Amino acid sequence: MTVQWFPGHMNSARKKAAEAMAKIDVVIEVVDARLPAASSNPMIAALRAHRQRPCLKLLNKSDLADPAVTAEWLTHFNRQPGVKAVAISCKKPGEVARVPKLCQQLAPHRNDGTKPLRMMIMGIPNVGKSTLMNALLKRRVAAVGDEPAVTKSQQRLDLSPTMSLIDTPGMMWPKIAYDADGFMLAASHAIGVNAVSEFDVAVVLGQLLLDRYPARVAERYKTDVTGFDGVRLVEEVARRRGCLIKGGGMDVDKASLILLGDYRSGALGPISLETPDSRAAMIAAAAEAEAEAVADDLPEVD
């Protein structure tokens, strides 16, 4: 199974973002700290490169992510030209207050007070853009919800007499290149539920958790997870949480929602689904598999 999700309004949002990019100084890209690369829309990087705009990359929800892994990602991103990466929780006003000054450092030509610093918030759905916008303005100007794609239109607001903000709708991209990315995005609630099977997503998430944080899983569900795979974990959650259907069978759909909810809420502790090394390995494996598939399709030469 592959996961793809690109609602029609997002194509319009992309076009409007491309137009606005010509009129701003700094892109504030918000990503999910638990999956910083998977939650970074490649279209945003392409738009920035075209207009040569610097980027403040905010690894939001850092309180839900593994701090050691987050440190690795910050080093990784801060090596990229034109990028300044910081970990943040948009729910903490003190951390949000640092954002304007960081943007000013990326656009020193806008520091003299004669021209306003123009910033644009971008990112995929449900990573915290609207929460950031509201925190920066210290009032509710953007709808916030626990469903992806709550914001559907672009808006411009003044942060101060010398700073302005453009908030953009969450944007996915037309084709998710790696299956693992689609599942991680779905597990983190960045993709609409109509595009996925929650059981399939929970199985993939469960396998990731077993691979990376088996002790956390064992502690949360009070069970020995030795020898478990993702399916077995979902079934064990069903048993432990009393998710039963008529006749005594297991309600794996309900158990899937419990596992996904525990990850999303932080009940399993600080979790990161990818590291720079694991992502490099995934991309290398995908490239190798594609090369082998191409080789298999080539005609044999006598």
Span 79-118, pLDDT tens digits? 999 999 999 999 999 999 999 999 999 998 887 767 889 9
How sure is the predictor about 149, in pLDDT bands with cuts at 50, 70 and 90? very low
Among 100-114, 135-149, 194-208, name the one with the lowest average pLDDT: 135-149
Domain boundaries, the chain: 8-167, 179-293
- What is the 8-class DSSP label of residue 109? G
Query: What separation, in Å, do the N-terminal and C-terminal C-alpha atoms of the chain show?
Result: 37
Span 40-64, pLDDT tens digits? 999 999 999 999 999 999 999 999 9
According to the model, what pLDDT value does residue 119 have?
95
According to the model, what pLDDT value does residue 148 have?
46
Q: Answer yes or no: is pLDDT of 193 > 90.
A: no
Q: Answer yes or no: is pLDDT of 241 > 90.
A: yes
According to the model, what pLDDT value does residue 169 have?
82
Category of 188 on φ-ψ map: left (φ > 0), alpha (ψ -120 to 50) or beta? alpha
The residue count of the chain comes to: 302
Q: With H, G, I as helix, E, B as strand and everything else as coil, classify residue 302.
A: coil
Q: Tell me how far apart the alpha carbons of residues 33 and 39 are, in angstroms, rounded to a whole number.
A: 9
Q: Answer yes or no: is pLDDT of 150 > 60.
A: no
1, 178, 181, 286, 294 from 289: Cα distances, Å: 17, 12, 17, 5, 9
Task: Return the CATH class of domain 179-293.
Answer: mainly alpha
Q: At what angle do helices 179-187 and 198-212 cross, to 10 degrees?
A: 100
Q: What percent of the chain has pLDDT over 70?
A: 89
DSSP string, 53-69: --EEEEEE-GGGS-HHH
Q: Which of 262, 284, 270, 212 minimizes the C-alpha distance to 32?
A: 270
Q: What is the mean pLDDT of the chain?
A: 89
- What is the 8-class DSSP label of residue 173? -
Q: What percent of the chain has pLDDT over 90?
A: 63
Q: Does residue 215 or residue 15 have the better pLDDT?
A: 215
Model confidence, pTM: 0.89
Neighbours of 192 (CB within 10 A): 16
According to the model, what pLDDT value does residue 216 have?
97
Task: Return the CATH class of domain 8-167.
Answer: alpha beta
The contacts of residue 168 (CB under 8 Å, 6+ apart) are 13, 16, 17, 20, 120, 121, 122, 129, 151, 154
According to the model, what pLDDT value does residue 6 have?
58
